[in-house]
């Protein structure tokens, strides 16, 4: 993939930009195998590759410049806005909407936040596209000062962007490198963006996490479903379940599935998806994954873990090691912490592994491992 912004030195976020895609994927596979080591009985499945461009379903645009001339992209080293509206890794539906959003900033007199001067209101525009082409837009503001004007001009924006289904304001008043704040104000009647992945529909609320590569996320969930259905456990836990991606994909008649997630908002979305699908035997609860496991009276037949980059940590790894769970499906976005966690669970032996290229043009990737308790 070729990128004018990268070639000009305007943006270096994609550290592998310009390198052939198959070469990138081979390097990620080699990196992951090196970290996990050569293990007897471990089968490496072919890596999963999606499109090398236009794959991101979410654009997190820092707003710079002025209200009359806003930039949407990143900030340079001096805190000045760098416009990246034609970014090639963003889905075409996102880039097509950005000119209308830039015009909206001007129309609604939304003053971009100046990091060096610590003044202004609008910090970010976060835009997400569903597989059906619908959009969810979030304005990250310093205060509520601009909300009245956003409400006033929102009908005109929705006429320009008829695919715009969910709009919200997020308040992030602090001067620090944090994308969003704790308070969300939804401005539309609709509050969720349906993400249809095959026969499963996930509901995203503004603060929900979802994999940024829809095609590869679908492959990730399909792989988990195949492994779980092959093993056919009676009970499954989905720890760090988010909006229920793994739990809803592995649900099946006669199988009890429990999803645990710290975000009550994500749990509400997961419950909505389960209810709409008419699933029984699937339950979700808000709570800490490690605390939930440590307090449980007995272990399920299979545990799915999909932790953040820090991994599951020693307490949960120790519980899994000593539990009666026969299998674990570990989905990781950081093979370094995955390798560390596997070392803490020697009784759970890796049997299958698969690298998924969730983040082309970067060194990051997803890897999923099926663990089986040694006899």
Contact 283, 257 (CB under 8 A): yes
Judge whether residue 73 has pLDDT over 80.
Answer: yes
Query: What is the SS3 assignment for 358?
Result: coil
User: What pLDDT is attached to residue 255?
Assistant: 97
Mean pLDDT of 348-375: 96
Burial tier of 233 (Cβ tally within 10 Å: 0-12, 13-18, 19+)? buried
Contact 282, 276 (CB under 8 A): no
- Per-residue pLDDT reduced to its tens digit, 97-121: 999 999 999 999 999 999 999 999 9
State how far the alpha carbon of 237 is from the alpha carbons of 83, 272, 281, 299, 306, in Å: 43, 18, 12, 9, 11
Longest dimension (CA), the chain: 68
Contact 192, 269 (CB under 8 A): yes
Q: Looking at the whole model, is its pTM more than 0.85?
A: yes
Judge whether residue 39 has pLDDT over 80.
Answer: yes
Judge whether residue 12 has pLDDT over 80.
Answer: yes
Rounded to an integer, what is the distance from CA 9 to the centroid of its chain?
27
Within 8 A by CB and 6+ apart from 226, the residues are: none
Around Cβ 349, how many Cβ atoms within 10 Å? 17
Going by pLDDT thresholds of 50, 70 and 90, the confidence category of residue 130 is very high
Q: Name the active-site residue from 32, 87, 241, 333.
A: 333
Q: What is the rounded distance in angstroms from the CA atom of residue 260 to the CA atom of residue 244? A: 9
Q: Smallest Cα–Cα separation from 319: which of 352, 296, 285, 343?
A: 296
Going by pLDDT thresholds of 50, 70 and 90, the confidence category of residue 38 is confident
Going by pLDDT thresholds of 50, 70 and 90, the confidence category of residue 177 is confident
Judge whether residue 375 has pLDDT over 80.
Answer: no
User: What pLDDT is attached to residue 156?
Assistant: 98
The edge-to-edge listing of strands for the beta sheet with 70-75 is 81-83, 70-75, 58-65, 122-129, 135-141, 164-171, 183-186
DSSP string, 183-239: EEEE-SS---EEEEETTEEEEE-TT----SBHHHHHHHHHHHHHHHHHH--SEEEEE
Q: What is the rounded distance in angstroms from the CA atom of residue 272 to the CA atom of residue 267? A: 9
Pull the structure tokens for residue 116. Answer: 């060096």
Q: What is the rounded distance in angstroms from the CA atom of residue 184 to the CA atom of residue 167? A: 10
User: What pLDDT is attached to residue 320?
Assistant: 98
User: What pLDDT is attached to residue 218?
Assistant: 97
% of the chain residues with pLDDT over 70 = 100
Going by pLDDT thresholds of 50, 70 and 90, the confidence category of residue 50 is very high
- Per-residue pLDDT reduced to its tens digit, 218-264: 999 999 999 999 999 999 999 999 999 999 999 999 999 999 999 99
| Annotation says 333 is catalytic | yes
Going by pLDDT thresholds of 50, 70 and 90, the confidence category of residue 178 is confident
Nearest 5°: the CA angle 19, 22, 27 is 80
Judge whether residue 138 has pLDDT over 90.
Answer: yes
Query: What is the SS3 assignment for 279?
Result: coil
Q: What is the rounded distance in angstroms from the CA atom of residue 345 to the CA atom of residue 50? A: 32
Mean pLDDT of the chain: 96
């Amino acid at each position: 993939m070729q990128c004018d912004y990268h070639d000009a030195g305007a943006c270096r976020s994609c550290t592998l930009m310009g390198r052939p895609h198959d070469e990138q994927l081979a390097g990620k596979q080699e990196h992951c195998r090196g970290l996990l080591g050569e293990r007897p009985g471990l089968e490496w499945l072919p890596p999963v590759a999606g499109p090398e461009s236009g794959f991101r379903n979410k654009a997190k645009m820092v707003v710079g410049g002025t209200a009359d001339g806003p930039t949407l992209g990143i900030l340079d080293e001096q805190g000045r806005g760098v416009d990246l509206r034609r970014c090639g890794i963003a889905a075409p539906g996102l880039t097509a909407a950005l000119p209308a959003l830039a015009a909206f900033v001007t129309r609604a007199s939304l003053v971009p936040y100046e990091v060096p001067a610590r003044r202004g209101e609008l910090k970010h525009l976060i835009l997400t596209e569903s597989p059906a082409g619908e959009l969810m837009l979030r304005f990250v503001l310093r205060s509520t000062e601009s909300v009245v004007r956003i409400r006033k001009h929102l009908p005109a924006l929705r006429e320009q962007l008829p695919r715009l289904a969910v709009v919200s304001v997020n308040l992030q008043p602090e001067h620090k490198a944090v994308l969003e704040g704790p308070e969300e104000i939804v401005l539309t009647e609709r509050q969720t963006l349906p993400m249809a992945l095959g026969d499963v529909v996930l509901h995203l609320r503004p603060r929900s996490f979802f994999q940024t590569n829809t095609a590869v996320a679908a492959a990730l969930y399909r792989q988990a479903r195949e492994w779980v259905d092959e093993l056919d456990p009676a009970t499954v836990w989905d720890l760090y379940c988010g909006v229920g991606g793994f739990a809803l994909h592995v649900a099946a008649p006669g199988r009890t599935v429990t999803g645990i997630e710290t975000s009550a908002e994500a749990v509400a979305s997961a419950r909505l998806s389960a209810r709409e699908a008419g699933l029984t035997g699937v339950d979700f609860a808000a709570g800490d994954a490690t605390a939930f496991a440590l307090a449980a009276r007995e272990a399920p037949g299979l545990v799915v873990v999909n932790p953040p980059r820090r991994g599951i940590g020693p307490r949960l790894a120790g519980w899994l090691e000593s539990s009666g769970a026969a299998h674990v499906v570990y989905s990781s976005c950081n093979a370094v912490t995955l390798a560390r966690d596997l070392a803490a669970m020697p009784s759970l032996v890796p049997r299958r592994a698969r690298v998924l290229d969730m983040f082309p043009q970067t060194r990051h990737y997803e890897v999923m491992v099926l663990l089986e308790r040694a006899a």
